[in-house]
Structure 1
């Protein structure tokens, strides 16, 4: 009876270890791998766990900043509560703790590594911080745009009326025209601000992204944004359905496509990939342009942040706001001189008959 209870306990323990969401790895005192749970195999990019058994930790979990020999030495006598390291083969940032592995006599026979991928956790934390920051910015933008727009319209109207009054010489008319033109430009910036701050007035309906991606790309090929040396490619299935507002979705397409082309002033390749996943639709814009610094990438969705000498810096802010309105997410992967990939993920709806 005791033997049976012990077997049941071991089976339950193994089930718990297999089911836990964090990575768990066991190794002997020589640093040879004894066990990796499914979550750990997924984090480490291991497809065949059995093939890793008996291999040293330097092979199974190679960390750029740490020596497993030193870690194993310390773990023989004490727990190591917190280590962060970069997994060499994927560049994922891992957080891990190491504890002695003891048998039923409390003899240390190896050690246990508990670990998780910090990359996704930090992405989620960044998204939450960005969401809060953009909400505050959006409220400020709406108030500021409202306060400025009416006086600006008065300035523009007054300048136009003065231009029709007799006695104004050529220089005066030129200056008045500048006032009108600049007022219109500022009005355009304010309109962009309002789109960024208040996209929620949209009425959502079922949209076939594949269809309008084809249409938008056809228009983009004929636009002034295309320069000699630009090459465009779209890969998309026949149908991709989302619940959304077509106007906002087109803004996402145009703003991201325009940014990508402007990042390649001397020509380059813009690849747009769209695919259906289990519960979402994913669209990627990938260019081989100038790329972004880490500082710019981190702040890219904030209003008025731009690397271009012209433009308002509202394009990506509008994209972020429109994606949030659709309950989706948007991320940027970029480095100077290595191009940029922008990934938009939107909730999918069931295929339509």
Structure 2
């Protein structure tokens, strides 16, 4: 029964130490202001288990009382340096005298521990993890043997027993090894989390830059196509003005895209309007025809009038990306069929090509940034399309097989202006 009681006291002392370490790293990680006062923080956190260990010691027998106060004292000195060690030494001695009275031998023993640990702490910070785990174990083992020798020489009543060897010399190295290991794990976890936050920020910047270049490339591709058509001889003035009008509209579209991304850090309220899908998709088809002609692709359209509600610019950009993907999926030419129809309260838009198709993995990963089946693709066009459809409260379904073409079905909630007015 006495053995069980002793083990319970050891676990209590260990609990005080580990909880204080956890509290220290919680404050260090989440308290930005407190992290500036690292030495004060570790002093406060390590002084708590010192006091608690002395208040609730390990009663080995009626002549031998022990506790693990030296472990938080040594840890605080190793991680905080000699200023933290000096503050903990004062707290430790004050608590010792308050609980058990003055003892000159105790003062000598802990001053020796402080001096050796403080001298060792300057090298401790430069150690790798393996040496940081090994060195405190060897240090506390050495200090246990040294202080036992000092006590044996200076005290006539001091005796070394088997219980003393186990609890004073053998047990502390295992506990300090565990404590230092946990501290290093928590410190690495905080460091890794900080690095991940930094990498996520860099990833956002990278995606933003790639998105700008990708989204601007689409209207510039249309501009390039119409500029090449303007070189065609025997064009009438009306046709030239029509082509120039398309060029101006697409340049304005590129300018609008750049403006939206520049306002990314301070976004404005998104403008929502009724969208006539047959008119806007028809406009997108007219814009993309030069690219289709360059790839020997014929576009067949069968658009039923219908209205949804959303951002017109985003809607056009979404279907420009999807139609462009369909054209690029047919490098040897083919037919791209675009149809829309109304069912109940939904508008269905289908884009069907006779291209190379997609396998199951490509279908599953459709819309992921930086994933594309195209050799020079970024996947950002598909990502923008998927996000836009989700914003419009719609769904996107892909039916495809390698070598058999692809059918993309977009379902969007219909908008009835008359009903909404009521």
**TM exceeds 0.5?**
no
Structure with a larger share of its residues in helix = 2
Structure with a larger share of its residues in strand = 1
Work out which structure has the larger RCO, using CA pairs closer than 8 Å and 6 or more positions apart in sequence. Answer: 1
